[in-house]
Chain A
Amino acid sequence: MRKMTYGEGIREGMRSKMLEDPNVVLLGEDVGPYGGTFGVTKGLWEQFGEERVRDTPISEGIIVGASVGAAATGLRPVAELMFIDFLTFGMDGLVNQAAKMRYMFGGKISVPLVLRLPAGGGISAGAQHSGSLEAWVTHVPGLKVVYPSNAQDAWGMMLTAIEDDNPVVYIESKVLYSKKYQVDDTVAAIPFGVASVKREGSDVSIITYGKQVEDALSAAKALAEEGIEAEVIDLRSLYPLDKEAIFASVAKTHRALVVTEEVKRGGFGGELSAMISELCFDELDAPVVRIGALNTPVPYSPALEAYVLPNTDDIIQGIKSMF
């Protein structure tokens, strides 16, 4: 075991695939000598050179679109957009091209690209640099979407993402980048569609991913002192989705709370909640509770931002409301 930050986990995943496969290339704004806005690609330019770690113009359309063209012709590009919010300029390449090409072309073209998207609030970055937009991409057939919550998963899921023959949206939590985690000495690829039970419990299932995993664990710890045992499920992969893990947990606890950082309206949390209500109705002793951000852009001022985003206490209150 060793200690490693979340950002380092992402980097080590990329590094090991780059060592294995010369067709793995990185591109994005400031990913070269600068090492990435959040330092994730630090050292890779020095190790692999200019041809494999390419700084691009500030031009998200071509970052995504060129990745599509390169992926369709033999490369395995890993593209970074500086913030998930900048996906708007790269959206066509992702949703109209990468996601649909295999299908539109009758299964004859693969687009094995990875799009890294730093997401989430909590650093006073304001409304255009703090988005949680996973619902935009989980909504699109043809994309796989993953959202690791710790360094080990970040590493193992990056290996899987780069090996995958489909476009993978790899969402990263900005506030976790510098957090340290215990990581195995060798990390194997973590298959998509397999959730991780972070804490077992008998009374309520907390279903979440990304940064909210640690909030959920804090909430579970506090609730245990009051005699409520919460099970915490880290989905890790939003599509494919480990429905069995969700259903098994709900069948055990008979209560479910879904917590995500996104604006609650139209969020992926709504999809999870609806799915549990539809398919596990007979198992439920209480309506599914959904926790998310308020339906606002993310504000700048720290107190406002903290007020808008969901926190541990919201989870605790949400769970108490079910009993």
Chain B
Amino acid sequence: MRISKELLSGMYRKMQSIRKFEKTASTFFAEGKIPGFVHLYIGEEAIAVGACANLRDDDYITSTHRGHGHIVAKGGNLKYMMAELFGKETGYCKGKGGSMHIADAELGILGANGIVGAGHLIATGAAWSAQYRGSDQVSVCFFGDASTNQSTFHEAMNLASLWKLPVIFVCENNLYGISVSQARHQTIKDIAKRAEGYCMPSLTADGNDVVTVYEHVQEAVQRARNGEGPTLLEFKTYRQHGHFEGDPGAYRPKEEVEAWLQKDPIPRFEKYIMENKLMTADELKQIEDEVDGNIQEALDFAFASNYPALESSVQDIYSDIVEEARSR
């Protein structure tokens, strides 16, 4: 066995946490209790979990608009996340950020991000900072296939390679940029190819297999910690829901959706665990039950929390200036 039982059960717990958090968000969004836009990570859990299982608390990640999974995987607190989605003052961002803007500096989470491609630059900058300070921290940049058409991707790849920065570019190729399929947004199929232009090692792998993801990221993290520079890892995956909740996803052929549902990363991981007799069915069930309890706790916390005071809207813009409030 290459992976310890502790790590396996930890990864399984995180995958279930993400899945159940997202299902809950979906339900409450549909009921109109969660406002705004919510982009769910259901189907892609293996990537965030497999990648973050290699990271320490002081390593950095940058996330995307589809960020809940990365935040949970990096150790984010479900209660503060849930409260944020409901716009409550106890949320990660005191209700000022919402689904697309959750961050946790203490866990190195430099933010989910509503701007496609923005994370490439920030992750690269964080890696530069780690390198400059002489730490062995690494920076993992999560992003989708479509963001590799942004200039930010190329600017970041170029600098990371040139300065040998400890950054791991983790592409979650879910085959669509919103409604536009990969074939309609770029001529390549394997995004890993783009690394060649930057003399950067890269590979393409199955993103629905958490063990595969874990192993590839482990190698890349090792390289980064050793000062050997960046890596581009492309993981093929599929989001099971629409781009955001409320998007029926009619642009995707039924057969394609069906085929990918068969490759759902969670049952696959369960099967792998059972076939290799790494954990028992009871042990898996117990984790699932505990996660259900955690989600319920997070919901209770969110419901019991207050909405933010209106005057908080003019705070936290600057470290030292509070803006003028309305007189009404």
- Residues on A lying within 8 angstroms of B by beta carbon are 23, 25, 51, 56-57, 59, 61-62, 64-75, 89, 92-93, 96-97, 101-110, 141-142, 144, 164-166, 240
Give B149-169 as 1s and 0s: 1 = Cβ < 8 Å from A's Cβ atoms.
001100110110010000000
- List, in ascending order, chain A residues with CB within 8 A of B105's CB: 72, 105, 108-109
Give chain A nearest CB distance to B306 CB in angstroms: 15
- List, in ascending order, chain B residues with CB within 8 A of A110's CB: 319
Contact B118 A93 (CB under 8 A): yes
**How far apart are the CA atoms of A66 and B159 in the complex, in Å?**
9
Given A61-B152, A104-B93, CB of A73 within 8 Å of CB of B126: yes
**How far apart are the CA atoms of A90 and B213 in the complex, in Å?**
33
Given A59-B159, A97-B118, A104-B111, CB of A144 within 8 Å of CB of B318: yes
- List, in ascending order, chain B residues with CB within 8 A of A101's CB: 103, 111
- List, in ascending order, chain B residues with CB within 8 A of A93's CB: 118, 121-122
Number of residues in B with C-beta < 8 Å to the partner?
Answer: 49
Q: Would you call B120 an interface residue if the criterion is a C-beta within 8 Å of the partner chain's C-beta atoms?
A: yes
Residue from A66, A104, A110 with most neighbouring chain B CB atoms (10 Å)? A66
Identify B110's interface contact among A67, A73, A89, A102, CB under 8 A: A73
Q: Which 9 A-B pairs have the closest CB atoms?
A: A69-B125, A65-B121, A66-B125, A107-B316, A106-B93, A106-B94, A69-B122, A104-B101, A62-B155
**How far apart are the CA atoms of A287 and B114 in the complex, in Å?**
43
**How far apart are the CA atoms of A295 and B101 in the complex, in Å?**
38
Give chain A nearest CB distance to B134 CB in angstroms: 10
Given A68-B122, A108-B103, CB of A61 within 8 Å of CB of B155: yes
Contact B118 A142 (CB under 8 A): no
Contact A141 B323 (CB under 8 A): yes
Give chain A nearest CB distance to B94 CB in angstroms: 4
- Residues on B lying within 8 angstroms of A by beta carbon are 60, 62, 91-97, 101-105, 110-111, 113-115, 118, 120-130, 132-133, 139, 151-152, 155-156, 158-159, 162, 315-321, 323
Contact B121 A102 (CB under 8 A): no
Contact A68 B125 (CB under 8 A): yes
Question: What are 11 A-B contacts with C-beta separation under 8 Å?
Answer: A56-B159, A62-B152, A62-B159, A65-B152, A69-B128, A92-B118, A92-B152, A97-B115, A107-B94, A109-B110, A142-B318
Contact A166 B110 (CB under 8 A): no
Identify A166's interface contact among B91, B96, B104, B320, CB under 8 A: B320
Give chain A nearest CB distance to B143 CB in angstroms: 13
**How far apart are the CA atoms of A72 and B123 in the complex, in Å?**
10
- List, in ascending order, chain A residues with CB within 8 A of B159's CB: 56-57, 59, 62, 66
**How far apart are the CA atoms of A308 and B183 in the complex, in Å?**
49
Give chain A nearest CB distance to B106 CB in angstroms: 8
Identify A69's interface contact among B110, B115, B155, B318, CB under 8 A: B110
Give chain A nearest CB distance to B318 CB in angstroms: 5
Contact A70 B152 (CB under 8 A): no
Given A70-B132, A105-B93, 6 more pairs with CB closer than 8 A: A23-B133, A56-B159, A68-B122, A69-B123, A69-B129, A97-B118
Give chain A nearest CB distance to B238 CB in angstroms: 28
Contact B103 A105 (CB under 8 A): yes
Given A70-B125, A109-B103, CB of A102 within 8 Å of CB of B155: no
**How far apart are the CA atoms of A106 and B111 in the complex, in Å?**
11
Contact A166 B319 (CB under 8 A): yes
Residue from A106, A144, A166, A240 with most neighbouring chain B CB atoms (10 Å)? A106
Give chain B nearest CB distance to A61 CB in angstroms: 5
**How far apart are the CA atoms of A61 and B118 in the complex, in Å?**
9
Residue from A62, A102, A144 with most neighbouring chain B CB atoms (10 Å)? A62
- List, in ascending order, chain B residues with CB within 8 A of A141's CB: 317, 323
Identify A57's interface contact among B94, B96, B162, CB under 8 A: B162
- List, in ascending order, chain B residues with CB within 8 A of A71's CB: 125
- List, in ascending order, chain B residues with CB within 8 A of A25's CB: 132
